Amino acid sequence: MTRSSLLLALAGTTLLAGCNLAPTYVRPAGAVPATLPQGGIYPPAATDAPDVSAIGWRDFFTEDRLRQVIARGLENNRDLRVAAANVLQARERYRIQRAEQVPSTGLSGSATYTNNAFGAGGAGGAGGAAGGVGTGVGAGVGTTSSNLEFYSLTAGFSAFELDLFGRVRNLSRAALQQYFATEEARRATRISLIAEIATAWLTLASDQDQLRLSRDTLRAFEQTRTLTQAQFRVGVASELEARQADTNYQAARNDIAVAETRIARDRNALDLLVGAPVPVELLPAGLGEGQATLTALPTGLSSAVLLRRPDVLQAEHRLIAENANIGAARAALFPNISLTASLGTISSALTGLFGAGGFIYSAAPGITLPLFDGGAARSNVRLSEATRQGAVATYERTIQVAFREVADALAQRGTIAEQVAAQSARAESALVASRLSDARYRVGVTNFITALDAQRTAYAAQQQLVTTRLTRANNLVELYRSLGGGLN
């Protein structure tokens, strides 16, 4: 093959390299309604609120101690480190696959030293002429020396596939999309970690409030129990009343033990999420009525906002990768054309290696045409198509899950303010009723059972208020997460 024909062949294959057998990618649509739920219990549209995905977590969380705990978690959490390592692995796999699109060129040199068996006295030449063999050798190497030296230096590539039908390019594209999917998985893990740390921190704060409430209630129940037992000893109160007062007291003792256990477990969970022990000064003293996050989040949005969520983007990148794999599988049905080529120089002396007249080159195109493989290649195409169908279903399912998460968070947000207001009023009324009942009991206007029930009702109402406040705080965190916020 001459140089001009070689260049012509390479130019022709370059033009043919535009062939791509992968199906055209079209994003699946219609898996969820066009807009997020509106009306009814859902909050009214507030599209003037800032874009959630543009609100960094340092801006969304307003409690400084919580921000510091989240920062520690992003630095130390092992799940996040695993996700980051997966991204690095996927990136290098893509680079390895992409490298197959260009020839892998190598440089080699050699030096050969051998003896000349016919160099002594020209005997070899004569023998060759008489016997009909070895004449070329004797004539080619000469008889002046008994040693031969050959030096060569070549550069080239071997069995480089001319990607006429896009097999290598589609494999490279699939690897790239898998890399993108892994990166989105890391982002999703990061967002989930931020939300989980915030939820754990807020839960610990709520349990601190529950413990404080149980201790305050225990003191109140202890006073009632002491008074009732004294009255029983002098015959003013019955044993039934004394036992009922003791029942309330022991229940509060149990609640304290339970709350202390929950707090210890909350701290363990928080340490695990952060990946290191959280200093005491960064732990919450209580939830109270204060807000640890921003409250102005948008509502009434298009469901297209879900397409920006990392888990949805991850599913879509995997779908695109499977689409490219179909192209690679289809290309395997067509001939595989490869090329081996080299350029170099050869000389009988090391000093003449780069001199004129020693230039050598070679080009060896090859073709492999599949004839019979038992249907493996076509089955591989069908397998790729079936895998893509599964990826489509996974993508649609991911969007549906995202839609439900946002819808559930919006449904709770639409009523949580009313719940907190109602529970606050209930707790206040129950507390006043308990004080009045106790005062009336002490002067003999109300019986003991009424006063005891009022105490229990007030205690339960205050416990429920703490729980509802925690629900409100967690709802804001969940809405922030489900809408795709928390990356910056």
DSSP characters over 364-397: EEEEE----STTHHHHHHHHHHHHHHHHHHHHHH
Is pLDDT of 196 > 50? yes
The residue-averaged pLDDT of 55-66 equals 92
> Among residues of the chain, what percentage have pLDDT more than 90?
51
| Domain contains 342 | no
> Among residues of the chain, what percentage have pLDDT more than 70?
88
Q: Domain range spanning residue 97?
A: 19-106+164-334+382-482
Span 91-142, pLDDT tens digits: 998 888 888 888 888 888 888 888 866 554 444 444 343 333 333 333 344 4
**In the block, which residue shows the tokens 């999917």?**
181
Question: Please, are residues 1 and 363 in contact by the beta-carbon 8 Å criterion?
Answer: yes
pLDDT of the residue at 431:
95
pLDDT of the residue at 158:
83
Q: Could you give the 3-state DSSP secondary structure of residue 310?
A: helix
Which span out of 345-359, 409-423, 441-455 was modeled with the highest average pLDDT? 409-423
| Domain contains 26 | yes
Q: Which of 12, 15, 28 is nearest to 393 (CA)?
A: 28
| Domain contains 330 | yes
Is pLDDT of 296 > 80? no
The residue-averaged pLDDT of 20-25 equals 89
CA-CA-CA-CA torsion sign (342, 348, 349, 354): negative
Where is pLDDT greater, at 34 or 274? Answer: 274
pLDDT of the residue at 125:
42
Round to whole Å and give the CA distance between 322 and 68: 41
Q: Which two tokens stand for residue 367?
A: 């073709």
Span 153-170, pLDDT tens digits: 888 888 888 888 888 999
| Domain contains 159 | no
pLDDT of the residue at 122:
46
* Predicted TM-score of the model (pTM): 0.82
| Domain contains 82 | yes
Round to whole Å and give the CA distance between 158 and 338: 8
pLDDT of the residue at 291:
82
| Domain contains 129 | no
| Domain contains 401 | yes
Q: Could you give the 3-state DSSP secondary structure of residue 475?
A: helix
Domain count, the chain: 1
| Domain contains 236 | yes
Question: Please, are residues 65 and 284 in contact by the beta-carbon 8 Å criterion?
Answer: yes
pLDDT of the residue at 213:
96
**Choice among 24-28, 49-53, 197-201, 208-212 with the minimum mean pLDDT:** 49-53
CATH number of the CATH domain containing 308: 1.20.1600.10
